[in-house]
Amino acid sequence: MSTVQIAVTGGESSQVVASTVGIQGPAGVSSYATVSGTSYALSNVDRSKILVFTASGATTVTVPSGLSTLFDVMIVQSGLGQVTVSGVSGVTINAALSATKTAYQYAVATLLPIGTNAFILSGEVTA
């Protein structure tokens, strides 16, 4: 349990005891993982993670069918190799102007669900 100090109108202060469930980062991100290979298949264990791709060559991230409808992931191109997001048969990746690759080193892209086996890829992406 955590103790939090809260200022109350009138100059008084109170303590509130709150329980915490797990450790979460910004915007509900649960953790991050570094990926050094040039291919990576997402799975439900990647939900709400930041995946940092470090390869110097092009990398492909495959989106399988059957991911949770609450699945979301942040993709960071830390290395020189662009990261391409591709769905298996039956998975739709929607992206403005068909932009499914990270645009440059340190680009950040987010994959968000919009239904069963349907996602939006947005952020610093290019075709």
Domains in the chain, CATH or no CATH each:
23-126 (2.60.120)
Q: What is the mean pLDDT of residues 101-125?
A: 97
Whether residue 119 has pLDDT greater than 50: yes
Q: Residue 126 in 3-state DSSP? A: strand
Query: Distance between CA 56 and CA 53 in Å, rounded?
Result: 9
pLDDT confidence band for 101 (50 / 70 / 90): very high
Q: What is the mean pLDDT of residues 51-56?
A: 97
Q: Residue 58's closest CA among 80, 86, 89, 34?
A: 80
**10 contact partners, CB below 8 Å, separation of at least 6:** none
DSSP string, 6-30: EE-TTS-EEEEEE---S---GGG--
pLDDT confidence band for 77 (50 / 70 / 90): very high
- Cut 0.95: pTM above it: no
Q: Residue 123's closest CA among 113, 112, 109?
A: 109
pLDDT confidence band for 22 (50 / 70 / 90): very low
